[in-house]
Amino acid sequence: MTQEQTRPKHMAAGETPEQHAAFEARIARGEKIEPGDWMPAEYRRQLIRMISQHAHSEVVGMLPEGEWIARAPSLKRKTILMAKVQDEAGHGQYLYHAAETLGVTREEMLDALLTRKAKYSSIFNYPTLTWADVGMIGWLVDGAAIKNQTMLAGCSYGPYSRAMVRICSEETFHHKQGKEMMVLYAQGTPEQRQMAQDALNRWWWPAVQMLGPHDSDSPNTGALSKWGIKLKTNDEVRQEFINEHVPELLEAGLTIPDPDLHQDEAGNWVHGPIDWSEFWAVIKGEQGLGNERLATRQAAQDEGAWVREALEAYMARQAKGEAAD
């Protein structure tokens, strides 16, 4: 057999077992990998895929809630929602910058998004049918995201880890705001209680699914865990999310749309079978608003072209002036 045939799948041409051993020893010691450090090509590829997907999720995630800014029921709710949507844009910026440290350009990442070569969290392809959906996104979707992002704050790649620390602090506010809003409605008028319950019925299973496929069906978990990018598996994070949110939802007087939900002897809340058919259909664009979301992002990209061109012209003029000096 040739050296090419015997080389492990995660080891690129030109990389040596000694380099991988030294790299993995750093991970085992808890060291952070920084942009100028040597890293396996597959580690770099997985990070670019994961961080850019996370960034795309932040900017696409602005759309379902942004639709409600003009329809918020009060000035207070409007200003809170505006601040949240603005935060999500900032999170996208942090993450795009973190990915850029790995050698990929912003243009390459946005092109991958708009040409469907890159993914984003499919939960943002669900419609927000009522104002209560905005609150339930804050409580459940941001709640699930925090569980995942808190874990990623300890990941082995320094720029991603540091971005997560800041993002988590802001997402915690979003989560608290969503919970406060939904508890208020759950204890309100019959119409408000029904609106809150309907929103929970729509968002419970998508929130459970957004933490990713079961570990047995997740092809990237092995490499991500091996290199300290993911410190917990999808199912472990999902269990943490369910254990925290089930008691809170029940305390608010809401009914979780899972007839098989129960507690085991260890006190963990155990969910019923997950129907993944809708999850994959939304990812593939067979259901949901994926086409509309990407069309909106494409329009924003096209309409912002003149701003990018003006900035490039200004920077070129500045550089020319400095060269003349």
The tokens for 174 are 């979003």
Residues 147 and 215 in one domain: yes
Contacts of 293 (CB under 8 A, 6+ apart): 60, 63, 124, 125
Weakest mean pLDDT among 5-19, 193-207, 239-253: 5-19
Which backbone phi and psi does 263 adopt, to 5 degrees?
-95, 140
Residue 7 has pLDDT above 80, yes or no: no
The tokens for 299 are 């329009």
Residue 1's pLDDT is what? 45
Which residues are bridge partners to 33 per DSSP? 157
* CA–CA distance, 73 with 22 (Å, rounded to integer): 57
Domain of 99? 17-277
Residue 75 has pLDDT above 70, yes or no: yes
**Within a domain: residue 160?**
yes
Residues 189 and 299 in one domain: no
Which backbone phi and psi does 157 adopt, to 5 degrees?
-90, 115
Residue 233 has pLDDT above 80, yes or no: yes
**Within a domain: residue 131?**
yes
Weakest mean pLDDT among 54-63, 217-226, 311-320: 217-226
**Within a domain: residue 283?**
no
Classify residue 237 by burial, with Cβ atoms within 10 Å: 0-12, 13-18, 19+.
buried
Residues 256 and 319 in one domain: no
Residues 200 and 54 in one domain: yes
Closest CA to 14 of 24, 1, 4, 23: 4
**Within a domain: residue 7?**
no
Ramachandran category for residue 162: left, alpha or beta (phi over 0 → left; psi -120 to 50 → alpha): alpha
Residues 137 and 234 in one domain: yes
Q: For the chain, what is the domain count?
A: 2
CA angle at 231 for the pair 230 and 237, rounded to the nearest 5°: 90
Contacts of 159 (CB under 8 A, 6+ apart): 34, 35, 97, 98, 101
Closest CA to 68 of 77, 60, 59: 77
Residues 23 and 112 in one domain: yes
Written as one letter, the residue type at 171 is: E
Higher-confidence residue of 14 and 175: namely 175
Residue 223's pLDDT is what? 82
- Classified as helix, coil or strand, 39 is coil
Residue 91's pLDDT is what? 96
The neighbour count for residue 323, using CB atoms within 10 Å, is 7
**Within a domain: residue 44?**
yes
**Within a domain: residue 186?**
yes
> Average pLDDT for residues 128-143, to the nearest whole number?
97
Q: Are 87 and 170 in contact (CB under 8 A)?
A: yes
Classify residue 10 by burial, with Cβ atoms within 10 Å: 0-12, 13-18, 19+.
middle
> Average pLDDT for residues 226-249, to the nearest whole number?
95
Residues 302 and 272 in one domain: no
- Classified as helix, coil or strand, 117 is coil
Residues 197 and 297 in one domain: no
- Classified as helix, coil or strand, 302 is helix
The tokens for 164 are 């997560």
Q: Are 81 and 68 in contact (CB under 8 A)?
A: yes
Q: What are the pLDDT digits (tens) for 166-221?
A: 999 899 999 999 999 999 999 999 999 999 999 999 999 999 999 998 888 877 77
Q: Are 143 and 241 in contact (CB under 8 A)?
A: yes
Residues 71 and 208 in one domain: yes
Residues 80 and 128 in one domain: yes
CATH code of the domain in which 139 resides = 1.20.1260.10
* CA–CA distance, 115 with 264 (Å, rounded to integer): 45
**Within a domain: residue 222?**
yes
Q: Are 178 and 139 in contact (CB under 8 A)?
A: yes
Residues 317 and 248 in one domain: no
Residue 285's pLDDT is what? 87
Q: What are the pLDDT digits (tens) for 138-156?
A: 999 999 999 999 999 999 9
Residue 207's pLDDT is what? 97
Residues 110 and 213 in one domain: yes
Q: 75-89 as b/e, with b when 16 or more CB fall inside 10 Å?
A: eebeebbeebbebbe
Written as one letter, the residue type at 68 is: W
**Within a domain: residue 4?**
no
Residue 5's pLDDT is what? 47
- In 239-282 the beta strands, taken as DSSP E runs, fall at 262-263, 269-270
* CA–CA distance, 297 with 98 (Å, rounded to integer): 21
